[in-house]
Structure 1
């Protein structure tokens, strides 16, 4: 059995930096595995600006 978390992140913009790599590294160190990345918001030109990263990890059945 698995548990899942959904984490919002950004690819950055004109005045902001991308945070997706730091987010993935942080959760990987905590034992989470990357499942999928989904765009959630788009700018006026149709380019994704924000993403939801889905992580999973196995639940201990002890």
Structure 2
């Protein structure tokens, strides 16, 4: 069985830095495995601006 964690990340922009590398590094050190990255918000031109990073890890029974 697995547990999942959903973390919002941004690709950055004019005044905001991208933070996906830090998020992935942080959770992988805690034993989480990257499963998928999904775009969840878009700008007016249809470009994704925010993402949800999905992690999983095994639950020991």
Q: Which residue of 2 aligns with 1:23?
A: 23
Q: Which runs of 4+ in 1 moved over 3 A?
A: none
Q: Which residue of 2 aligns with 1:51?
A: 51
- CA drift at 1:60: 1.0
- Matched residue pairs, number? 61
Q: What are the superposed Cα offsets for residues 4-50 of structure 1, whole Å, 9 maximum, x if unpaired? A: 01000101011110000100000000000000000000001100000
Structure 1 length-normalised TM: 0.96
Counterpart-to-counterpart distance in 1, 2:14 and 2:49: 11
Q: Which residue of 1 aligns with 2:8?
A: 8
Superposed CA RMSD:
0.4
